[in-house]
Structure 1
Amino acid sequence: MNIRILNSREDLNATAAAVIAGLLLTKPQAMLGLATGSTPIGIYRHLADMYRKGQVSFARAYAVNLDEYVGLSQNHPQSYRNFMNEHLFRHIDIPIPHTHIPDGNANDLEAECAAHEQAILEHGPVDLQLLGIGHNGHIGFNEPGHSLTGYTHVVDLDERTRTANARFFGHIDAVPKQAVTMGVGTILKAKQIILVAFGADKADIIKRALTGPVTTACPASLLQCHPNVLILLDQEAGGWFH
């Protein structure tokens, strides 16, 4: 596990984007595992800027997302399909058929979960998986529990997760109570993982995930079992490491 403490959030974003771009330069057809939420927005901005400057192309790449809310149409302002379109896909040259995000509004969610796994099997394995971390240690929407599901599945969202995401919806009552998420088993099959965190409010959970026991009570702790994980932290999130 390689832990890097960057001087600023901007440095963190630029570093993560450079790793992703470097992969595409050596393997243009790479499959990227992408995340949503506030954490990766700056990374996607850097990637879009690198594309505009002709420094990287996504034309042969594939992208698979971690998760999607249940019950939101793909054009809903807070759907993760809409998020990816707005923050990355429409700013780069990736073919939309090469992008795979679960449809949380599908009539048969079990079949949708299976289709998401199949998309990864057909074009994967995931070469690089980008992750954030929740305040409760979740990765994707894999919430803490006595056990974890390995493959893409429907999950009930923890109230702390819903509260944290309420800022995007205006009120917690508008936040969906379920999501489709890649399982931890699927995440851990990625060849490389980048975990990004910033802010003092993430310091405690990062320390617990990286140095505490490996337990399903903190899903991110299972990253300790992966052979190729890059942890990118700003000074506030990594202050405990000094």
Structure 2
Amino acid sequence: MNVHVFDSNEKLNEAGAGILIGTVQTKPRAVLGLATGSTPIGIYEEVVKEFKRGLVSFRKASTYNLDEYVGLPAGHPESYLEYMKHHLFDHIDLPAESAHIPDGSAADPEEECKRYDAMLADAGHIDLQLLGLGHNGHIGFNEPDHALNSATHVVKLREQTRAANARFFGSLEEVPTHAITMGVGAILKAKTILLVVRGADKAEIVHRALTGPIATEVPASLLQTHPSLVVLLDAEAGRLFR
């Protein structure tokens, strides 16, 4: 495990983008696992800048997103598909058919989970998996539980998670109650995991996840078992590591 604490978000974003870009430069057909939320936005902005400078091409790469809300109609501005288009996909040369996100509007979400797992299996191991961290220690939408599902599955979102995401919607009532998420099994199979955490409100949970007991009640604690984990923290999130 390599933990890096940055004094500025600019340096953190550059470091995160550098790791992602370096993966594609080294392996043009890289399989990337991508995340959403506020945490990776600055990293994606740096990636777009470097792409526009001609330093990287995603033409041969493929991407697989961690999760998607269940029940949002196609084109909903808060769907993770629209998020990815806005922050990354519309600004780089990744072919549309090479970008994969669970279909939260599928008529049968359980079948959609099986379809997504089959695609992940066909793609082979993810070369680089980008992760954020929830306030309760969730990764993807794998919420704390007595046991964690290794496969892609439908999850009922905890109220704490819905409240944290309400800022993106008009009200808490508009936040979906369920999501499709990649399971911890696929996440941990990635060759390299890049965990990015920002903010003082995440300082205690990220320290607990990376230094405390490994337990499914803190899903991110399972990352301690990964042989190639890189952690990027801003100064506030990393205050307990100094």
Q: TM-score, normalised by structure 1?
A: 0.99
Equivalent-residue separation in structure 2 for 1:25 and 1:81 (angstroms): 25
Task: Quote how far apart the aligned CAs of 1:74 are.
Answer: 3.1
The list of structure 1 runs, each at least 4 consecutive aligned residues, that deviate by more than 2 angstroms after superposition, is none
Equivalent-residue separation in structure 2 for 1:41 and 1:124 (angstroms): 26
Q: C-alpha offsets along residues 94-130 of structure 1, whole Å, 9 cap, x if unaligned?
A: 0010011000110111111111111112223100000
Equivalent residue, structure 2, for 1:102: 102
Equivalent residue, structure 1, for 2:116: 116
State how many pairs are aligned. Answer: 242
Is the CA contact (8 Å cut-off) linking 1:203 and 1:240 kept in structure 2? Answer: yes
Q: C-alpha offsets along residues 41-69 of structure 1, whole Å, 9 cap, x if unaligned?
A: 01100001110000110000000000000
Equivalent-residue separation in structure 1 for 2:139 and 2:74 (angstroms): 22
Q: C-alpha offsets along residues 4-58 of structure 1, whole Å, 9 cap, x if unaligned?
A: 1111111111101001101111100000000000000011000011100001100
1:10 corresponds to 2:10: yes
Equivalent residue, structure 1, for 2:236: 236
Is the CA contact (8 Å cut-off) linking 1:17 and 1:43 kept in structure 2? Answer: yes
5+ residue gaps in structure 2? none
Which sits farther off after the overlay, 78-87 or 4-13? 4-13
Equivalent residue, structure 1, for 2:191: 191
Q: C-alpha offsets along residues 192-212 of structure 1, whole Å, 9 cap, x if unaligned?
A: 000000111110000100010
Equivalent-residue separation in structure 2 for 1:162 and 1:72 (angstroms): 14
Equivalent-residue separation in structure 2 for 1:121 and 1:50 (angstroms): 30
Equivalent-residue separation in structure 2 for 1:231 and 1:74 (angstroms): 34
Q: C-alpha offsets along residues 138-185 of structure 1, whole Å, 9 cap, x if unaligned?
A: 000000011110010000000000000000002000000000000111
Task: Quote how far apart the aligned CAs of 1:3 are.
Answer: 0.4
Equivalent-residue separation in structure 2 for 1:115 and 1:29 (angstroms): 22
Which sits farther off after the overlay, 114-123 or 162-171? 114-123
Equivalent residue, structure 1, for 2:156: 156
Is the CA contact (8 Å cut-off) linking 1:74 and 1:103 kept in structure 2? Answer: no
SS at match of 2:25: helix
Equivalent-residue separation in structure 2 for 1:125 and 1:179 (angstroms): 23
Q: TM-score, normalised by structure 2?
A: 0.99
Equivalent-residue separation in structure 2 for 1:43 and 1:146 (angstroms): 33
Equivalent residue, structure 2, for 1:68: 68
SS at match of 1:18: helix
Equivalent-residue separation in structure 2 for 1:122 and 1:86 (angstroms): 27
Is the CA contact (8 Å cut-off) linking 1:188 and 1:226 kept in structure 2? Answer: yes
Equivalent-residue separation in structure 1 for 2:7 and 2:60 (angstroms): 33
SS at match of 1:51: helix
Equivalent residue, structure 2, for 1:93: 93
Equivalent-residue separation in structure 2 for 1:163 and 1:54 (angstroms): 40
Is the CA contact (8 Å cut-off) linking 1:74 and 1:80 kept in structure 2? Answer: no
Equivalent-residue separation in structure 2 for 1:34 and 1:238 (angstroms): 22
SS at match of 1:209: helix
- The letter for the 2-side match of 1:148 is L
Equivalent-residue separation in structure 2 for 1:36 and 1:74 (angstroms): 17
Aligned sequence identity (%): 57
